[in-house]
Structure 1
Amino acid sequence: MSIPIIDLHCDALLRMQDHRLRFLDSPKLDVNLERLRTGHVMAQAFAIYIYPNFSLEEKRASALKQIAYFQNEVLGGQVVQIKQWADFEKLQPEQIGAFLTIEGVDFFGGDLSFWHEFYALGVLSIGLTWNNPNEAADGLHSTLKRGVTSFGKDIIALNNQHKIFTDVAHLSEQSFWDVIEHADYVISSHSNAAAVCPHERNLTDAQIRAMIAKNAPIHVVYFPEFINGTKRAMMSDLIRHIEHICALGGKHLVGFGSDFDGINAKISSLEHAGMHQNLVNELLKYYSEADVRGFAYANFLKHLPR
């Protein structure tokens, strides 16, 4: 059985930019067109991620280069852009939807006009920062203890107004709680459960319960370090995170956020986008088909910003 997949996070644009790779079939890309087809992916989120040590000029240039790769390499033929949530309803069975997300607004440089520019380009989910502090929020590695700044709250207000997700992955704990308070449409695009693996990138039970109370999707990530704290993991190890979120009452919110092309270690038999169905088949051993369809795509579609 093949079940369609919606994957909420990959870093293929950055890898294409860094290594000038061909999206069609480059074996150096975890996410390429060939592998999306093989994995029965119906929609893939493509993150814009900028190295935090770049100058502001370099950050902005990198963001625009990644947009160019998205438009010129990813889109076309079978791959169509999802620029608004209603576009999911227009996807044909033979098409693959592709949509943009931002993993850190460093390249905004405190200028809100960049929000409007990238919204016009089709960005549908925004994480205020990666692990570092920036003008919008503190990330996991920040020591500033600000949480979300006034600039970050301006971004959240625009996200609310235009029905854009605010992503809590990579945020400091204070920033997380600020997003819960201020954002109407919250998501964790690629995080696991800290109770199963106590990594700083994972969500505590209190955070998971807050996400559930907010009706906010939680997409599990395929990186072994966030799964069991090592460089090697099995699919059964990832499923323990799904089980834990379900036990807390979040079965209807679980989805996938692979982090392909952004991770340097992989789950066995889940090394690239062409292998998503291996996870589907493993999940079917423990969950009903309806539940697995929920994890794979339906939960996300049911919780789109309206």
Structure 2
Amino acid sequence: MLAEFVVLCLWFGSCAVTEAEDASMTRALKLMSETPLIDGHNDLPWQLRGQFNNQIKELDLHTLSTTHTNIRKIKQGRLGAQFWSAYVPCQTQYKDAVRQTLEQIDVIHRMCEKYTETFMFATSSQDILDAFRLNKTASLIGVEGGHSIDSSLGVLRTMYQLGVRYLTLTHSCNTPWADNWLVDTGSEPSRHNGLSSFGKQLIGEMNRLGVMIDLAHAPLSVMNQVLDWSKAPVIFSHSSAYSVCPHRRNVPDEVLVRVNQTGGIVMVNFYNDYVTCSKTAKLSDVADHFDHIKKVGGAGVIGFGGDYDGVSRLPEGLEDVSKVPSLVAELLRRGWTDEEVKAALGQNLLRVMKEVERVRDSLNSSMPDDVPIPYKEVENPCRTSFGYQNAGNEFSLSRAALLLILILQAGVTFNT
């Protein structure tokens, strides 16, 4: 009888746990039906390049099985809006970074055009809400890495016209105008002590255009400089909490406080190495980052930035985009209120984006910044100097000197 009683108690206990879990999931799905889940960073476009060289005409994104993301998983994950990453590696810097980035922007557009029943291309906060009402996933573009603009404000403006709405200032290499996060590890030297003068120009032009400044992959110096200078709030599109996992890709507490003060957002990354600083992690470990950021920076600075299809290791329970509702349910089980969960799901990002748009509109009478980066800061064998008067004069004088020498030599030859 005792054994039967113990078994019965265990059964009732497991039923109670299951019912609590089911109740949390039911509540999570309800909240996700009312507020769009907006994810800050997904590298599916890079997978489309790597696996198919961007030839998407024949593949079926409904059932694609070699990625963390497909349409079936998107539907299961209740993904309301996604910033698709237009990423190309640092090896393209000073070579073909602009071309390759444009090709990534192109594949995002073509993906939306091919699957119109699922995706709606979006460029504004209102577009996100409109897509959500239509039961479609709003699809936005973020360029991951300042090397993609080849130190050109004109390229930045052109990418904005193509729909780019955030720029990650660096990836894992210094640019001619900004240091990257590896500087804080000591594995790379600082070139600029943060941002150069042109980097500061870039911040102003991003504010004027309405391009969100993404500080994921930035060193501490750049984080603080941008928080000092930007008129608009910033985002960390896929970074976690440094105090929980002391990896330099994560955000330290003092910056979390400043993000709160300036109205920005930190969108939590799911990559195991940034979650636990090890190769393994669980869903609960990711929830620990949400808890910590809420404690230090407040519920108004938190978002989701899974980094799906851009990482090789993901936590148990968050293996692909379909599993995100389980994380939402876990936050509810930890005592998060409906209002806090809705803020993290999408309201925080919408607030940031609306403020970036407001700053843009307030600067609409300002002329585009057309002062180029100094040629000496970008001079390399693959770059021409057209338009730079000083560099052009030096080139012309060199040619004139060479021509004079040839004339004199010809004269000497003729006279003899």
TM over 0.5: yes
3-state SS in 2 of match to 1:56: coil
Aligned residue for 2:273?
225
Bigger Rg, which one: 2
Amino acid in the other structure paired with 1:16: L
CA contact (8 A) 1:30 1:261 kept: yes
Q: Pick the aligned partner of 1:144 from 186, 190, 195.
A: 190
Q: Pick the aligned partner of 2:159 from 107, 113, 118.
A: 118
Aligned residue for 2:148?
107
Amino acid in the other structure paired with 1:49: Y
**Is 1:299 matched with 2:348?**
yes
Amino acid in the other structure paired with 2:98: R
**Is 1:153 matched with 2:200?**
yes
Tell me the distance in 1 between the aligned counterparts of 2:109 and 2:316: 32
Which shows bigger deviation, 180-189 or 36-45?
A: 180-189
Q: Pick the aligned partner of 1:39 from 77, 84, 88.
A: 77
Amino acid in the other structure paired with 2:298: G
Tell me the distance in 2 between the aligned counterparts of 1:115 and 1:77: 30
The Cα shift of 1:167 comes to 0.7
**Is 1:80 matched with 2:80?**
no
Aligned residue for 1:179?
226
**Is 1:27 matched with 2:76?**
no
Aligned residue for 2:170?
129
Which shows bigger deviation, 187-196 or 85-94?
A: 85-94
The Cα shift of 1:164 comes to 2.0
Q: Pick the aligned partner of 1:248 from 296, 304, 311.
A: 296
Q: Percent identity?
A: 25
The Cα shift of 1:274 comes to 1.2
**Is 1:258 matched with 2:296?**
no
The Cα shift of 1:54 comes to 2.3
Which shows bigger deviation, 291-300 or 111-120?
A: 291-300
Tell me the distance in 2 between the aligned counterparts of 1:118 and 1:94: 27
Which shows bigger deviation, 74-83 or 11-20?
A: 74-83
Tell me the distance in 2 between the aligned counterparts of 1:214 and 1:239: 24
Amino acid in the other structure paired with 1:149: S
Aligned residues: 306
Aligned residue for 1:70?
108
Aligned residue for 1:275?
323
Question: Larger helix proportion, structure 1 or 2?
Answer: 2
**Unpaired segments ≥5 residues, structure 1:** none
Tell me the distance in 1 between the aligned counterparts of 2:162 and 2:289: 34
Runs of 4+ in 1 over 3 A off after TM superposition: 21-24
Tell me the distance in 2 between the aligned counterparts of 1:291 and 1:258: 19
Aligned residue for 2:40?
8
Instruction: Give the TM-score normalised by the residue count of structure 1.
Output: 0.95
The Cα shift of 1:64 comes to 1.9
The Cα shift of 1:219 comes to 0.8
CA contact (8 A) 2:90 2:173 kept: yes
The Cα shift of 1:294 comes to 1.7
The Cα shift of 1:124 comes to 0.8
CA contact (8 A) 1:84 1:122 kept: no
Tell me the distance in 1 between the aligned counterparts of 2:233 and 2:263: 9
Instruction: Give the TM-score normalised by the residue count of structure 2.
Output: 0.71
CA contact (8 A) 2:178 2:191 kept: no
Q: Pick the aligned partner of 2:139 from 93, 98, 101.
A: 98
**Unpaired segments ≥5 residues, structure 2:** 1-25, 184-188, 359-416
3-state SS in 2 of match to 1:267: coil
CA offsets per residue over residues 31-59 of structure 1, 9 Å max, x none?
A: 22221111110100011111111253432
Tell me the distance in 2 between the aligned counterparts of 1:243 and 1:175: 25
The Cα shift of 1:145 comes to 4.5
The Cα shift of 1:152 comes to 2.0
CA contact (8 A) 1:38 1:274 kept: yes
Tell me the distance in 1 between the aligned counterparts of 2:177 and 2:140: 23
CA contact (8 A) 1:255 1:300 kept: yes
Tell me the distance in 1 between the aligned counterparts of 2:191 and 2:252: 19
